[in-house]
């Protein structure tokens, strides 16, 4: 499928409600050494995110994740189970499934923060099997999403010269939909305090 962008995706009243909930000081986040892989120490804790590894290890065999940290929280975990305490997002899941026409099997909140300069995060795919990916941006920010022309495949894997197909600016209530086999990444913000989004997968 081609890249699709829908601005003002959700009804304003509902979007304002979940945005206020996410941005509140009471909302709990989980810290990750690497926002694109859940990598910590020398293990990948979640096989649902897959990235390039050839340059990521130092002499102690630990992944070099300095500067790639971020925060997340699952809405629907990789096993397809929704969190009961995040029921406010159920309507969002149904609306995305209605528009995309597929079942959702994974959904999580991501937050990266300003560290002075914008950092391009690791190119990756979310799963090693065909799927559709979506990103719902929660706040206006810099730190574009980058979708490359190259798709992950069993022959070339990540050993490809990546060229940019499209960059998408984070805008509150903007939904981005694309073929999840396209290698992609995001950037940390440098002009805003934080960049918040909901990343979901469908099949």
CB contact at 8 A, 128 and 9: no
What fold is seen in the domain 4-202?
Answer: Jelly Rolls (2.60.120)
Q: What distance in Å separates the CA atoms of residue 124 and residue 160, rounded to the nearest whole number? A: 12
Total residues belonging to the chain: 203
CB contact at 8 A, 79 and 127: no
Element (H, E) at 20: helix 12-23
Model confidence, pTM:
0.87
CB contact at 8 A, 22 and 86: no
Element (H, E) at 6: strand 4-6
The predicted-structure confidence for 20-36, as pLDDT tens digits, reads as follows 999 999 999 999 988 88
Q: Where are the domains of the chain?
A: 4-202
Kindly give the confidence (pLDDT) of every residue in the chain, 203 residues in length, as a single tens digit, with 9 standing for 90 and above: 889 999 999 999 999 999 999 999 999 999 998 888 643 333 334 444 554 443 344 444 444 555 678 999 999 998 889 988 888 899 999 999 999 999 999 999 999 999 999 999 999 999 999 999 999 999 999 999 999 999 999 999 999 999 999 999 999 999 999 999 999 999 999 999 999 999 999 99
**pLDDT confidence of residue 41:** 32
């Amino acid at each position: 499928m081609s890249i699709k962008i829908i601005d003002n995706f959700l009804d304003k009243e509902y979007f304002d409600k979940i945005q206020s909930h996410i941005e509140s000081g009471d909302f709990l986040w989980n810290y990750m050494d690497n926002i694109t892989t859940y990598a910590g120490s020398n293990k990948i804790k979640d096989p649902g995110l897959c990235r390039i590894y050839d340059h990521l290890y130092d002499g102690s065999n630990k992944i070099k994740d300095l500067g790639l940290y971020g925060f997340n929280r699952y809405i629907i975990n990789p096993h397809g189970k929704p969190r009961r305490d995040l029921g406010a997002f159920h309507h969002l899941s149904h609306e995305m499934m209605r528009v995309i026409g597929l079942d959702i099997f994974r959904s999580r909140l991501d937050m990266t923060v300003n560290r002075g300069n914008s950092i391009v995060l690791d190119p990756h795919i979310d799963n090693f099997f065909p799927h559709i990916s979506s990103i719902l941006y929660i706040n206006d920010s810099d730190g574009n999403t980058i979708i490359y022309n190259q798709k992950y495949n069993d022959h070339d894997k990540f050993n490809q010269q990546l060229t940019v197909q499209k960059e998408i600016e984070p805008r509150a209530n903007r939904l981005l939909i694309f073929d999840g086999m396209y290698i992609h990444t995001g950037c940390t913000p440098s002009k805003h305090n934080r960049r918040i989004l909901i990343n979901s997968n469908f099949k």
